[in-house]
Amino acid sequence: MTTILNLLARAEIISLRQYQQALVDAVRAALRSGKRRVLAYLPTGGGKTRVATAITQMTLAKSTGRVIVLANRKQLVHQFAAALRAAGLDVGIAQGENTAGLHHRVVVCSIDTIHARSYTFEDVALFIIDEAHAVAGSEKYRTLLFRYNRVPVIGLSATPFARGLGKPYPELGGKPLFEELVVGATVQQLVDDGYLTDIEIYCPSAPDMTGAKTSRTAEGEMDYRQADIDQAADKPELVGDIVRHWLKLAAGRKTIAFASSIAHSKHIVEQFRAAEVTAEHLDCYMDDDTRADILGRFERGEFTVLSNVALLSEGFDVPSTACMILARPTKSLTRFLQMVGRVLRPAEGKTHALLLDHSGSVERIGHPFDDLPLELCDGSPNKAGRQERTKPEPKPCPSCKFIKPAGTRKCPKCDFEPERQNDIEVRDGELQRLTRKKNAATRFEKAATYAGLLQIAHERRYSERWAAHQYRKIFGVWPRALPEVRREPSAELRSWVKAQAIAYAKAREQQQEGRAHG
């Protein structure tokens, strides 16, 4: 016990914001209630690492056991270890050639290293898993949780939508991977309280993804195939459009760009440099020193635009980054939010962030501040698709191209009031500013409606096309990016379908009578 007290005496006493402390209290309450594995949600920038540090200190004070922190990327391992050390804790690392200090009571581990070397930890009091949405699709994580099925686990994630996070396993006594999801705060709450910055979104014409095929990601979501993304996005005219609109709307802002491929990223950098804008490319094949040098120079402001594919979607923390270029089309809510979260951290002089969406992703997925489906998915067909959420249906001002909330006739920017609002039109690749649609059905409600229509179609032996047409009658848009799963429809939906069928039958009868008398 003396050793523990000496350790804590050297450690900084972690002070937490109110919502962070509430999250810690809720996680502890869930564990005390008998839950073994708890998933804690906070948006990117909400302070998950600080929460984990506080929990680590509490665990060391109350137990003689060890705290093992797990991450799925080398960069995250070293970032987490640095944060714990900054709080005064002695920390070991289990990560490839950097492995050292495994005797310490806190060890931050790469899941790849742990799995490859079959490390066995004794006296584990707690596992903490960073980016825990990866657990559901990872055999390595599941193998470890099965082996230590009696040890408490706290997962941390800003995107807890992965299919199967709540799936039961016999190796866990029939209980789920994560038994409870604890919510610390929403993105909008943190923006309102000043802990995250607001965002302004502009949407240009997007790559044509017609005919693009999809496949399931590691998180269980459906997303475009890489080959189709490359073919659609990496075109000279689109790359040139990226630079042109950045110069128009974001010139001088520290910017990160998410490209569709390494070649695409390099093409973006080439075009920025041709426009005399300092830019660098970063990828996973660079050695550690090269990557560290590029990231360091970007953080110090020695160049303006940093382009990558997906390397910076997790663990990248440069609050002064004020603009993000999204040039990689995606249908994945997880990937979308991970990328957008990179520019939401507040910084001195940063009044808001800019998102320049050159991918069409915002229109497919929704505004990043919309309500999220914060509910664990057990992977069953009727619960898959919970990653879906609010989808905006913005409309452009015909005069100034500002995107207005749906239902707003007069433009809040230029006061122009058209006689009739049209659907979104993208003219000459001009960026359209996006604002959020108010009082709209949530994406989850839309997904539930579509799933109910699919069930009715199945019962009546109609085609899925019929369900799509009925959905369009209700919401005015096609069910793009919604999961094609069936679930029991609501009584209201069944009544609506019945009324539609009666109206259709009467219309047919009138037409036949008209032809008979014609």
Same domain assignment for residues 66 and 103: yes
| Cα–Cα dist 354/259, whole Å | 17
Strand partners, 223: 215
Same domain assignment for residues 87 and 217: no
Same domain assignment for residues 46 and 181: yes
Q: Is 255 helix (H, G, I), strand (E, B) or coil?
A: strand
| Cα–Cα dist 131/134, whole Å | 6
Same domain assignment for residues 453 and 475: yes
Same domain assignment for residues 156 and 216: no
- CATH label of the domain that carries residue 353: 3.40.50.300
- Determine the number of helices (DSSP H) and then strands (DSSP E) in the chain: 16, 20
Buried b (16+ CB within 10 A) or exposed e, 78-97: bbbbebbeebbbebbbbbee
pLDDT by residue (tens digit) across 48-70?
Answer: 999 999 999 999 999 899 999 99
Contact 500, 460 (CB under 8 A): no
Whether 423 maps to a domain, the answer reads: no
Dihedral sign for Cα atoms in the order 104, 108, 114, 117: negative
Whether 498 maps to a domain, the answer reads: yes
Same domain assignment for residues 168 and 220: no
Contact 406, 393 (CB under 8 A): yes
Whether 141 maps to a domain, the answer reads: yes
Domain end call among 355, 370, 385: 370
Strand partners, 355: 201, 324
Tell me what pLDDT residue 499 has. 78
Lowest mean pLDDT among 197-211, 261-275, 427-441: 427-441
Whether 228 maps to a domain, the answer reads: yes
Same domain assignment for residues 128 and 274: no
Same domain assignment for residues 154 and 60: yes
Contact 212, 360 (CB under 8 A): no
Same domain assignment for residues 153 and 236: no
Lowest mean pLDDT among 86-95, 374-383, 454-463: 374-383
| Cα–Cα dist 24/16, whole Å | 9
| Cα–Cα dist 518/500, whole Å | 27
CA dist list (Å): 410 to 202, 367, 394, 424: 19, 22, 13, 16
Q: How many independent structural domains does the chain possess?
A: 3
Strand partners, 39: 155, 181
**How confident is residue 441, by pLDDT bands cut at 50, 70 and 90?**
low
Whether 294 maps to a domain, the answer reads: yes
pLDDT by residue (tens digit) across 10-46?
Answer: 444 688 999 999 999 999 999 999 999 999 999 999 9
Domain end call among 186, 218, 249: 186
Q: Report which of residues 375 and 429 the model is more confident about.
A: 375
Domain end call among 186, 205, 224: 186
In 3D, which of 5, 121, 101 has the Cα closest to residue 62? 5
| Cα–Cα dist 124/147, whole Å | 12
How many C-beta atoms surround the C-beta of residue 45 within 10 A?
A: 21
Same domain assignment for residues 147 and 287: no
| Cα–Cα dist 416/270, whole Å | 39
Q: Hey, which of 215-229, 292-306, 371-385 has the most confident mean pLDDT?
A: 292-306
Instruction: Provide the residue range defining the domain that includes 61.
Output: 2-186
Whether 433 maps to a domain, the answer reads: no
pLDDT by residue (tens digit) across 476-493?
Answer: 777 866 777 788 888 778
Same domain assignment for residues 285 and 314: yes
Whether 405 maps to a domain, the answer reads: no
Contact 44, 344 (CB under 8 A): yes
Same domain assignment for residues 226 and 205: yes
How many C-beta atoms surround the C-beta of residue 422 within 10 A?
A: 9
